[in-house]
Structure 1
Amino acid sequence: MRAILLLHTGGTLGMMPSGEPASLAPGRFLDHLLEQVPELGQMASLSVEVPFNQDSACVEPGDILALAARIRATARDFDGFVIIHGTDTMAFTASCLGFLLADLGKPVVLTGSQRPLAFVRSDARSNLVNAVDLACRAVPEVGICFGTHWVRGVAADKLSVHQFEAFQSPNLPPLAEIGAEIRLHPDAGRFEHRVPAGLDGGLDLDIHTVTPHPGMAWSVPPSTARAVLIQAFGAGNLPMGRADLGAFLRHCEDRKLPVVVTSQCPYGGVDLSAYEMGRKIEAASAISGGLHTRWAALAKLALVLGAGGGVEEVREAFRTQWAGEPMPGEAWPQA
């Protein structure tokens, strides 16, 4: 059988009916999983580690870097990896790991649930079985297995707080469709690794993030900010006639702060050449986030900043596909 390392980091899946976490001693937690889902023992030779146990809203950059480091350190010992993770920040963790582990050559499958495994009616059981199955299939991808799909981590976003189909991949077809059989996309595991060297040492999240709304006043970023991420309207539009927005962008340019623009719309992404407002933003030295999700954009920006990069390094990062994230003009056919 395939050797699979299961890393439990917390979240809803491992909770008891009382709302308390299950026993966290690795051996006891494995016993708990096998009691609830005995078929896991027939699917793979499972080992369990509990690097941390917390609500995913509390995940810090160091936690994600520690996960990446642990997976790299044990890559020779296991055929695949499953990460149990809370849903709230799973897409961000999956985006970071998708870049950090793009060259691993083995499957890394993140999963969780909307209801605990110990509940009678829960999505945890099927998500866990499917995640272990995918981890055994030698498809070198980092992705989220949830509901009836496995989606690439650097293209994923959370869709719902209560539906079992909780995650989506808005601008890239799923890696796999999960039903009576698991149907892998023919291009799953096929992407060119272009993550620059030296980007695994830090995630600098001193990033000023802005989600504008009509009539919003624009205040300059705090002095500690090293970059700005704007989730703009539509294809990347902002109210460029506002004097305070103009001052905001000039301030960023003077401070040499990279300004990356993504879209509030999950589908379609940013095209700063499409409308006059977008062209004015581009003329103010802003960088198009293209089809990057908000989480992939944040992860890529944090990795570049963590390696000491500035405006030009960020600009290059967002016009380069690092790990199979969707890019304008690089369509991936439907399965």
Structure 2
Amino acid sequence: MSSQVLILYTGGTIGMVQTEQGLAPASGLEARIKQAMGASLADLPSFDVIELNPLIDSANITPNNWTELVSTLATHWQDYEGFIILHGTDTMAYTTSALSFMLGACDKNVLVTGSQIPLGMNRSDATSNLQAALSLACSHPITDVSLVFDGKLMRGNRVQKVSSGRFKAFTTPNDELLGEIAIDMQLHFDRMLKKSPTTDTLSMSEKALTFQEGAVAVLMLHPSQPISIYQSILNDDNCKAIVLMTYGAGNVPDKNTDFLDFLMQTSLRNKIVINLTQCMHGGVSQGAYAAGSVLSERKVLSGYDMTLEAAFCKLHFLLAQGNSYNDIQEKWDTNICNEFSA
């Protein structure tokens, strides 16, 4: 092992350069990192950079890319002390959530970061984010797949992107920070995922699950919903699960017969439905209001205070493991990696 840390570059703003068509991912990132970070590298762990081929804008991320990332980590797991994944911010919360379920409690640090402005450009946040990630990559044991951004260490399955124009682009609306990287570094090890060697017996390569594209749908409720949406989801045999984005504490239009029939049909066709609030803060209290109690009667499961990204990825994870409709009904309430508040 010649270097301590492996950096996986997937694409995304941090490594983009200006082209005639606008910003686009570009190869040769290792040289640009060393040029931008200069003398500060002397105080940071040594690193190698692997660039995925092809590099992609994170808006084009699919579950297959999560498999590729874990497969790449598995190949190099014994060669490095820690790992950093450079990723675009648009779908960063999906990838950090997916990796958290796939990897579980890690015995080596897996950190994800990126930037709002490309590395080397004026006022870029790339250097500070990458410096923070490198300073954490192998110096302290961090069991959670985590996001390092704007001086914060955040649990990967609790993050959401909240700004497209600020350096404080991510937050964990229903979770405490795992750490802060400021003048002094403060890490909260008591908040991190506990290792469970008796339950996690899979090798790294076995964690690279194969996902089923299009297996999970997201349905955002809004007044006067077109009923054609319901039928298209029901008729899609490839769709096995639905994240239902409801109002407030988990309320739905319980006087809408088309919607109620849709829910009945989902259970008859063995499609899992998860009740998740559209609100950023808080979670669902299924049954607290009459307008939400109808969900339990139709086997809709509570999403607690999970993020959309976490619920979406947890469903994909459970399906990729081969779980049936009844299996997921039984397993959904298990807090796999602190994805919801206990």
TM over 0.5: yes
Q: What residue number does 1:295 align with?
A: 309
Q: Which amino acid counterpart does residue 278 of structure 1 have in structure 2? A: G
Distance across 2 between alignment mates of 1:300 and 1:238: 23
Distance across 1 between alignment mates of 2:193 and 2:66: 24
Q: What residue number does 1:77 align with?
A: 79
- 1:162: Cα distance to partner? 0.9
Q: What residue number does 1:223 align with?
A: 236
Name the SS of the counterpart of 1:187 in structure 2. Answer: helix
Which region of structure 1 is more displaced relative to structure 2, 180-189 or 70-79?
A: 180-189
TM-score under structure 2 length normalisation: 0.89
Q: What residue number does 1:203 align with?
A: 211
Q: Which amino acid counterpart does residue 62 of structure 1 have in structure 2? A: N
Q: CA RMSD in A?
A: 2.1
Q: In structure 2, which of residues 202, 214, 223 is the aligned counterpart of residue 214 of structure 1?
A: 223
CA contact under 8 A between 1:192 and 1:322: conserved in structure 2? Answer: no
CA contact under 8 A between 2:287 and 2:294: conserved in structure 1? Answer: no
Which region of structure 1 is more displaced relative to structure 2, 62-71 or 134-143?
A: 134-143
Instruction: Flag the 1:58–1:23 CA change in 2: closer, same or farther, 3 A.
Output: closer
Name the SS of the counterpart of 2:250 in structure 1. Answer: coil
Instruction: Flag the 1:121–1:253 CA change in 2: closer, same or farther, 3 A.
Output: same
Distance across 2 between alignment mates of 1:283 and 1:196: 37
Instruction: Flag the 1:307–1:289 CA change in 2: closer, same or farther, 3 A.
Output: same
Instruction: Flag the 1:92–1:36 CA change in 2: closer, same or farther, 3 A.
Output: same
Distance across 1 between alignment mates of 2:324 and 2:291: 25
Q: Which amino acid counterpart does residue 187 of structure 1 have in structure 2? A: D
Percent sequence identity is 31
Distance across 1 between alignment mates of 2:30 and 2:302: 45
- 1:223: Cα distance to partner? 2.3
Q: How many corresponding residue pairs? A: 325
CA deviation digits over 1:265-299, x for unaligned, max 9? 12111120321122111111101111211011000
Q: Please list, as runs of the form range in 1=range in 2, the aligned pairs for 1:29-48 lying within 5 A after superposition.
A: 29-38=29-38, 39-48=40-49
Name the SS of the counterpart of 1:37 in structure 2. Answer: helix
Q: In structure 1, which of residues 283, 307, 314 is the aligned counterpart of residue 297 of structure 2?
A: 283
CA contact under 8 A between 1:82 and 1:110: conserved in structure 2? Answer: yes
CA deviation digits over 1:240-279, x for unaligned, max 9? 1111011101111111111111110121111203211221
- 1:310: Cα distance to partner? 2.5
Name the SS of the counterpart of 1:297 in structure 2. Answer: helix
Q: Which amino acid counterpart does residue 13 of structure 2 have in structure 1? A: T
Name the SS of the counterpart of 2:17 in structure 1. Answer: coil
- 1:135: Cα distance to partner? 1.1
Instruction: Flag the 1:17–1:257 CA change in 2: closer, same or farther, 3 A.
Output: closer
- 1:21: Cα distance to partner? 4.8
1:255 aligned onto 2:263: no
Distance across 2 between alignment mates of 1:317 and 1:7: 32
Instruction: Flag the 1:109–1:155 CA change in 2: closer, same or farther, 3 A.
Output: same
CA contact under 8 A between 2:13 and 2:25: conserved in structure 1? Answer: no
Name the SS of the counterpart of 1:82 in structure 2. Answer: strand
- 1:138: Cα distance to partner? 2.5
Q: What residue number does 1:317 align with?
A: 331
1:161 aligned onto 2:164: yes
CA contact under 8 A between 1:200 and 1:303: conserved in structure 2? Answer: no
CA deviation digits over 1:43-93, x for unaligned, max 9? 111011011411101012111111012112222111111111000000000
Instruction: Flag the 1:21–1:33 CA change in 2: closer, same or farther, 3 A.
Output: farther
Name the SS of the counterpart of 1:109 in structure 2. Answer: strand
Q: Please list, as runs of the form range in 1=range in 2, the aligned pairs for 1:21-36 lying within 5 A after superposition.
A: 21=24, 24=27, 28-36=28-36
Q: Please list, as runs of the form range in 1=range in 2, the aligned pairs for 1:146-157 lying within 5 A after superposition.
A: 146-157=149-160
Q: What residue number does 1:237 align with?
A: 251
Q: Please list, as runs of the form range in 1=range in 2, the aligned pairs for 1:131-146 lying within 5 A after superposition.
A: 131-136=133-138, 137-146=140-149
Q: What residue number does 1:264 align with?
A: 278
Note the residue ranges of structure 2 that are not aligned, 5 or more in a row. none
Q: Please list, as runs of the form range in 1=range in 2, the aligned pairs for 1:44-83 lying within 5 A after superposition.
A: 44-52=45-53, 53-83=55-85
CA contact under 8 A between 2:105 and 2:195: conserved in structure 1? Answer: no
Name the SS of the counterpart of 1:261 in structure 2. Answer: strand
Distance across 1 between alignment mates of 2:175 and 2:85: 22
Q: In structure 1, which of residues 306, 311, 316 is the aligned counterpart of residue 320 of structure 2?
A: 306
TM-score under structure 1 length normalisation: 0.91
CA contact under 8 A between 1:94 and 1:144: conserved in structure 2? Answer: yes
